[in-house]
Structure formats: C-alpha cells, structure tokens
Structure 1
Amino acid sequence: MTVTKEQLHEAVLAHQDDLLKLCQQLIQIKNQSPIDDQEPAIKFVRDYLAEHGIESERIVADGGEDYPVVYARIGSDEGFRVVLNGHVDVVPVGKLDGWDFDPFGGEIRDGKMLGRGTSDMKCGLAVLLFSMAMLNESGAELKGDIRLHVVCDEEIAGTGTKWFCENGYADGADAVMIGEPTGHDTIEIGQKGILHLTFTAHGVPGHGSTGNYKGDNAINKLAKVIPFIDEITAVPGHYDESQARAVKNSRTIAERTIGTPGVGNVIDHCSTNVGIIQGGGKINQVPDFASCSVDVRLPYGCKHEEVVAAVDALIAKSGVEGVEASYNWTAEGNYTDDESKLVTSLKKNIEDVWNEECLPAYQWASSDAAHYRALGAPTIQFGPANNEGIHGYNEDVDVIDIVHSAEIYMMSLCDMLGVE
C-alpha cells in the first residue's frame, strides 16, 4: 500500500502526544554548555533513533571526545537529498531563583512547554527526530535521502556542523533544514557575515602622578576613537533585484521582533558592538597600550574596502594618532533564494497550517547555516519559538507551535522527497 502525504500528516496529529513526550524527555536532560556532560543527550538521541529502526553513528569530530556528533541516514541513494540539522546543548540556566518553574522539568502548563531549551532548540530537535522516525516507520517510498546531523557544541564553539560540512557529510545536499527557533511568521533564508575588528592604541608610559604632564596615555587615545565607531553602521550591503522582496521582509521582521525605532537598518547595513576593552597594567602607571574588540556584522554583499575606508575615516575624524585597526573577516553574508523548492514548499505549508502569512527573511545575526550555504546548499532555519525567554529566564514555547512545526516539517519533507 502506498503511503501518502495526507496520511503522514494525519499520523503526526495522531501521535502528537509522543512528540510532546519526546520534547519533555530532552528538556529533562541537564546538559548545559560548557558546564555539564553532553554524553547523556547524545546517547538519548541515538537510543531514540534505534527504537525507531534507524542506525546512527557517534563520531568524535573536531570538538573531541567531550563533544561528539551524531550522524544518521534513511532513504535511497537516488533522488533529492535533504539534511536535517540540530543541536542538543543548551546555555546555562543562571540563578535558579530567576525561574518561575524548574528549568529541567519539561512541564506543560497553560498551553506552553516550560524549560531551558524549549525554544533553543530541544523542541525543534524533537521535531526533526520525530519526523525522521515517522517517515522511517511508515514505509513511505522516499525518492531521495534524509541525513541527520546532530551536534552538542553549538552554544559554545560551533565546530560540529563545520566538521560535518568539511568532511563530506553534506556534499550534494539539495536542501538543509535547521530546527533553530524562528517562530512561524518567518523562515530564516539568509544571514549577516562577521568581522572581528580590533582597535589598538599605542602610548608612552610614565608615572601616574604626573600623567597629566608626562607620558602618552593609550587608554585616553582609545577613548577618543570609540565614540566614532558607530559610523561603520553607514556601510551598506549590496543586493540584486531578486533579493528585494527578502530584504523588505527582513526589515519588517526585525522591526516587529526587536521593536526599536530604525532597527530595520540592521538588516542591510553593518552593525557594531564594542564588546571588550583592555588596557593598562597598574593604576599608578600611564598605560602605553590599550585595545578594544568590536563585533561587526556584515550585510550580504558588503565590500571589505568600504568597511576599511569607514574605519580609516573614523580614526582620522577622532584626531588621534597612534591608533591602528586590524581585521579578522570570520564569515561573509549569505542567503538562499526565496524561490528555491525548499523555501516555497516550506512557506506554503506554514501558511496552510497556520492560516497566516509567513515572510522568508534574512537574519541580523549569524549561525551554522553559513557552513551549508558555503557548500552551495539551499539552507533554511525554521523551528518553534518564543523569543523572549531564549538564553534568559523562564524559557518556554507554545505547544501548538511544536505540533504545527512537526506538521510543517513532515509535509515539506514529503514535497521534497516525492511522497504525494
């Protein structure tokens, strides 16, 4: 008997209690990065896959024995090739008295799943595992394969996904679906690049008691440059006509999510954050060295020479001599075409399930998606989320969002793998 897309959709709804139980079990595993051991979560993932007839591998990758990855595959050698990516690790919960509930309880209350990792991203991971298990057990004929990449160091290093991409596990992928939190009103189809910019000031040491008269204070020099750093935000991205709709969507999502006046500019211009300042060694000595590290996020198409020119101009504008800049270009802006099969299928299924418009958009931050896009693989991020509690206290997610996400993933996988 041929298994249909409609039957698989109905099966998701019929087994939603199993999905929610899976979410709870994952949340109840205490695996904060870098505080806790990640092995219990890795073992749980492998055991779950095995219970549903899926063989997996535990591989020691670049993160070493403490941060292994899990790889699994189902389907056929010929056809469309899909990668599912997720991470099991979560950020620390902080002070327990900041929580209104047990962060590792996995409690369901008033239509919400409660606990650390509910949004980022144990419920999203549960959706991936659940979808893969149901497809495998259904006997559906997949015209292609699904490759699962699970990592446990995303919150601290991000080496796991990079390792998968560098070692051939994503080669030839026609679509990559990452279950990171987005909420249902958007699909992440692109993101900004990263520049780590360092300003270094050089001075002349002297005794602190005569610091107003002798010596050359490097900290004071740097302090005169820092107020001009935000001028880098004038450097724009460069987009072609095919990206105009996504840029517009992205500005809308940024304004809706962040809510600060003018924040839409964060999408198509550089952003800056002075994150670290260092200088001086003793309170009674004029410092001869000071530095600050700036996190610069680069919009798609941002030209390096434009950034360098802006930096040179702001140093000159400060009127200070003896300050220089160094650059570590970590990643470039990247995107997936919003008319790709992956995006159009996902968007349609989201809108059918939620009966609301979904806007494929670029992210103002960066993530592991960049590694897949660097290989030329169409890549999205989509997963259940309530953004307010992510990395903070009282993280939660709506139960309906979890269930709908599973429906959407199942239908989209059917679309791409020829299950009609």
Structure 2
Amino acid sequence: MASDQRDAGWDNTMRSVVSLAQELIRQPSRGGVDDYGPVLGVLEKWLAGHAVPHRRLHDEAGALVGLLVEVAGEHPGPWWTLDACVDTAPYGDTDRWSFPPASGEIRDGWLLGRGAADSKLAAAMYCHLAANLAARPHTFSGGLAVLLDVDEHTGNFGGARAYLADRQAVRPAGVIIGYPGMDEVVVGGRGLWRAAITVHAPSGHSGSSRAVTGAISRAARLVCLLDTAELPGPDASSGFPLGPKLTVTAFHGGQGFSVIPDRVDINLDVRTTPEFDAHHAETLVRKVVAEVDAELSTPIPTTVTEVASWPAFRLEEDEQPAAALLTVARATGLDVRAKTAGPSNIGNLLARHGIPATAGFGVPYEGLHGIDERASLAELPDVYAIHQQALEDLLRGA
C-alpha cells in the first residue's frame, strides 16, 4: 500500500474513533442516574455495522451492566481484555461548565464533555481495535475481549463482575484498563477496606439537668482516635511504594436542637497495602472501637460492618500486560513510568481473581470528574498506535 493511501486510511480511522466518541458523549450515562440503554445502543449499532461479535452483560438481578466484545483468533492461545467504562461521573454544578456536559464538540483540539476523558474516547478506540482484529482472525492467536462497563462509576463494577461470573467468557490472561494520561501506566494500587460504623447511646433532652453522653460525643471521640491511629509507613523491602491510609468519609446523626441523638453513622475508608491488609485494618478499627466503648460505656455497643474489601496489587514492569504497553510506549521515545496508585481501580477486583491488570496510558486530559472535562486529540494517533502494537505483541506471544 502506498504511503499516501496508508496515511489516508489511518486518518479515516482516527476520524471514526473521534466520531464514535462524540456520539457516546452526547448520550448522558451518569452512573446511577441515567438509563444506560441509549449509550450502549450507540455501541451496539456501531459494532453490528462492523461485524464485531458482541453481547449484553447482566447482573444477578437482570440489570444491564455492559457489553462484551469477543474476537477469536484462528490459532489457540491466551485471551487478553481491553476494558473501558461508558458510564460517567455526575455533572456537578452545570452552571460552572463553559460548555454543555453532553457536548461532544471539538474545540481547539480538545474533545469536550463528560466522559471524554473517563472513558468514552478509550471505549471508541477499543471498539476500533477489535474491529481491526475481527477482519483478520488468521493473523493472531488466542483472542481479544473488550469489556464496555456501565456500572463502574457507581462503585459496583457490575460489568466487570458480570464478565468474571460469565461461564461463556474465556478467562483473560490480563486486562488493560483504558484510563487517560500519557505519562504513566498504572501497574498497581492500594487496596481498600471499608466499613459502616454505628455508634449508639441513650437519647435525651439537650436541656436536661442530667448529664448525658450522647451518640455524637461518643462518635466524635471515636473519630479523633481513628484520625490519630498509628499506621505503618511504606515498607521498602516489600517493593510496594505506598503506606496505608485511614479516612473517615461520612458522619451522620442528630436532628434539630433539643434532642440528644441515640445513633450516629460513620463511613470509614482504609487504603491497604500488602503489609497492612484488610485483616490488619479491621483489627485496628475494632481495637479503637472497643477502647471507646470501654471509656464511654453504653448499653448498646458500637457495631462495625464491613462494606467492601479489595486487596492491594502490583505488577512488575516485566509482567504482562504491563510489559507490552511500557515497552512499546518507551520504544517510541515517550518517557512513561510505571506507577502504583493511591486510589483503587478495577485492577484490585481483578487481582482478587488472579488476573493481572494495568490502568492508564491514554490521551492527556483536564477536568476528569470535575468541571469542563475534556480530552486532547492531538496525541490520539500515538495512543492508538501504541495500544495496537502492544495488543498485537500480546496476541502473538512476543
């Protein structure tokens, strides 16, 4: 193929990726707010029009939680998965946006709108990569799955859970998650242990002559002890660069002015590491709770209910699929570093199932989860080409 023809074909692919991303952005799909049918309908129409095999995923209750694309090669081998969410964060204060959150317009080289960065552009890119492979199954081994999740921003990760529970789906050798940002490939993340804590105490009148230690006072004491609890720092010998972190994220109780409440509900988020895991987190929290119950006694003890728990994870740079992305990106001259992230991601869920994952390596962005979300399109050709080469290397076992 002549160079000008090859360039024209490449330009057409980039235009098609952007066009699909624009359509997706124009379908509001805020997690837990909007109907996901329209945004998934855009994807289904595109995939069907390009003869890419796909099917819907449902959770245990029958709710629609995503699409799964499956493209099989003609030769046996491991399967690899590309994952991108097409639900989004909420809009926030729309009066502060300088363009409509569901814009989808292009301005000064930026794709505008909620989901442009996280992660509708990545979803459009991954659909095109799948279509490219579907047209030539004789050229690769194993297979490619593309998970298009619409239950990610709720924190439920329903699409990923449905994929992992699907007996028809081939278990992947690894997953590449399509988050934005060109400087890093996330190869690990802290885990989490989350709990709902309920603090009890006798109720009473705020004007009573009798001294009453209410639930708010007991809960405040508990929060102070949790905030000052001693946590270990990073353990250099473990190879994991971050230490654990404990944060009280919600505190609810009381009403009006004259009643001393008998209950306060607290949400607690603990970010865990390989050396300070969920067991250590729960042990520490229950110890602090026992201390408060002994110091400020009450007929009903404080309860601690685990809400979620994921392990920390970290891949070495020579482990797949991290190695494929990092090798190809660095070979193009990009200064890309491997990063262990403070927040968790679907990689933590996958780690629980023994599936290695990376997150990141996408286009530069602004306003992710905030005001005026946008994604830069100037770097899209490089990001696409690096994903394509890394994927081909994985599918031929390079």
Aligned to 1:400: 378
Answering whether residue 222 of structure 2 is matched by residue 196 of structure 1, we say no
The one-letter code sitting in structure 2 at the alignment partner of 1:131 is: L
RMSD across aligned C-alpha pairs, in angstroms? 3.0
Alignment partners' CA distance in 1, 2:288 and 2:63: 46
Aligned to 1:330: 309
Alignment map for 1:219-298 (pairs within 5 Å): 219-232=216-229, 234-236=231-233, 243=239, 247=241, 268-280=242-254, 283-298=257-272
Aligned to 1:364: 342
Alignment map for 1:111-190 (pairs within 5 Å): 111-138=109-136, 141-156=139-154, 157-168=156-167, 171-181=170-180, 183-190=181-188
Helix, strand or coil at the partner of 2:228: helix
Aligned to 2:19: 21
Answering whether residue 326 of structure 2 is matched by residue 347 of structure 1, we say yes
Helix, strand or coil at the partner of 2:192: strand
Cα deviations by residue, 1:336-365 (Å, 9 ceiling, x for unpaired): 332113212210212233x23211122211
More helix by share: 1
Cα deviations by residue, 1:397-417 (Å, 9 ceiling, x for unpaired): 110233222111100011111
Helix, strand or coil at the partner of 1:78: strand
Conserved 8 A contact 2:250-2:266: yes
The one-letter code sitting in structure 2 at the alignment partner of 1:163 is: A
Aligned to 1:321: 296
Give the C-alpha shift of residue 320 in structure 1: 3.6
Give the C-alpha shift of residue 142 in structure 1: 0.8
Alignment map for 1:368-383 (pairs within 5 Å): 368-383=346-361
Cα deviations by residue, 1:52-99 (Å, 9 ceiling, x for unpaired): 221211233336345453343332351131112122112222333211
Gaps of 5+ in 2: none
The one-letter code sitting in structure 1 at the alignment partner of 2:348 is: A
Higher mean C-alpha displacement, 402-411 vs 283-292: 283-292
Q: 1:206 to 1:170 in 2, by over 3 A?
A: same
Alignment partners' CA distance in 2, 1:147 and 1:319: 54
Question: Residue 281 of structure 2: which of 307, 311, 318 is its match?
Answer: 307
Give the C-alpha shift of residue 121 in structure 1: 0.4
What TM-score comes out, normalization by structure 2 length?
0.87
Q: 1:13 to 1:175 in 2, by over 3 A?
A: farther
Q: 1:75 to 1:232 in 2, by over 3 A?
A: farther
Alignment partners' CA distance in 1, 2:341 and 2:230: 16
Alignment partners' CA distance in 1, 2:191 and 2:221: 27
Q: 1:198 to 1:129 in 2, by over 3 A?
A: same
Give the C-alpha shift of residue 33 in structure 1: 2.6
Conserved 8 A contact 1:87-1:150: yes
Alignment map for 1:405-420 (pairs within 5 Å): 405-418=383-396
Aligned to 2:44: 46
Q: 1:379 to 1:12 in 2, by over 3 A?
A: farther
The one-letter code sitting in structure 2 at the alignment partner of 1:222 is: A
Alignment partners' CA distance in 2, 1:387 and 1:227: 38
Conserved 8 A contact 2:80-2:174: yes
Q: 1:9 to 1:411 in 2, by over 3 A?
A: farther
Q: 1:233 to 1:129 in 2, by over 3 A?
A: farther
Higher mean C-alpha displacement, 410-419 vs 325-334: 325-334
Q: 1:93 to 1:379 in 2, by over 3 A?
A: same
Conserved 8 A contact 2:31-2:90: yes
Q: 1:174 to 1:10 in 2, by over 3 A?
A: farther
Alignment partners' CA distance in 1, 2:273 and 2:6: 39
**Whose relative contact order is higher, 1 or 2, with alpha carbons under 8 Å and at least 6 apart?**
1
Aligned to 1:252: none
Helix, strand or coil at the partner of 1:301: coil
Conserved 8 A contact 1:225-1:320: no
Alignment map for 1:81-120 (pairs within 5 Å): 81-120=79-118
What TM-score comes out, normalization by structure 1 length?
0.82
Q: 1:406 to 1:9 in 2, by over 3 A?
A: farther
Higher mean C-alpha displacement, 49-58 vs 60-69: 60-69
Alignment partners' CA distance in 1, 2:294 and 2:397: 66
Higher mean C-alpha displacement, 215-224 vs 165-174: 165-174
Q: 1:371 to 1:63 in 2, by over 3 A?
A: farther
The one-letter code sitting in structure 1 at the alignment partner of 2:193 is: L
Give the C-alpha shift of residue 236 in structure 1: 4.4
Number of residues of Structure 1 aligned to a counterpart in Structure 2? 389
Gaps of 5+ in 1: 2-6, 248-267
The one-letter code sitting in structure 2 at the alignment partner of 1:417 is: L
Give the C-alpha shift of residue 13 in structure 1: 5.4
Alignment partners' CA distance in 2, 1:319 and 1:194: 28
The one-letter code sitting in structure 2 at the alignment partner of 1:284 is: S
Alignment partners' CA distance in 1, 2:26 and 2:288: 50
Give the C-alpha shift of residue 122 in structure 1: 0.3
